[in-house]
Amino acid sequence: MTDTAPQPLRPAQPYIRLDGDTPYVEGRLCSACGARTAAVHLACPGCGGRDTVQSYRAPTTGRLHAYSIVRRSYPGVPVPFVSAIVDLDDGLTLKGNLINVAPEPDALPVGMPVRMVFGDAMGRTDKDGASYVAFFFEPAA
Partner 1 sequence: MSESVYILGIDMLKFGKYPDRTFAQLGGEAALLALDDAGLTVRDVQAMYCGSVFGAYDMTGQAVMREIGQTGIPVTNISNACATGASAFREAWIAIKSGLYDAVLAVGVEKMPRGMLGAGHETGISLEGLFGSASMPAVFAESGMEHAGKWGTTFEQFAKVSVKNHHHSTMNPKAVYQKETPLEEVMGSEMIAYPNTKLMCSVNVDGSAAAVLVSEKKAREMGMGRAIRVMASALASDPWNPRNPIMPDVNSVTRLAAQTAYDMAGIAPSDVSLVELHDCFATAELLHYENLQLCAPGQAGRLIDEGVTALGGRVPVNVSGGLLSKGHPLGATGIANMYEIALHLRGEAGARQVEGAKVGLTHVVGLGTASAVHLFEKA
* Residues 36-95 contacting partner 1, CB under 8 A: 36, 38-39, 45-47, 65-74, 76-79, 81-85, 87, 91, 93-95
Closest among 97, 35, 43, 86 to 62, alpha carbons compared: 86
Note whether 49 binds Zn ion by CB under 5 A: yes
Minimum CB separation of residue 29 from Zn ion in Å reads: 9
Whole-angstrom distance, CA of residue 111 vs CA of residue 135: 19
Under a CB-based contact definition with an 8 Å cutoff, are residues 116 and 98 in contact? no
Closest among 79, 110, 109, 111 to 97, alpha carbons compared: 79
Whole-angstrom distance, CA of residue 33 vs CA of residue 83: 29
Residues that bind Zn ion (CB under 5 A): 30, 32-33, 35, 44, 46-47, 49
Q: What residue ranges bind partner 1 (CB under 8 A)?
A: 10, 12-14, 35-36, 38-39, 45-47, 65-74, 76-79, 81-85, 87, 91, 93-97, 105, 110-111, 121-122, 124-128, 130, 132, 134-135
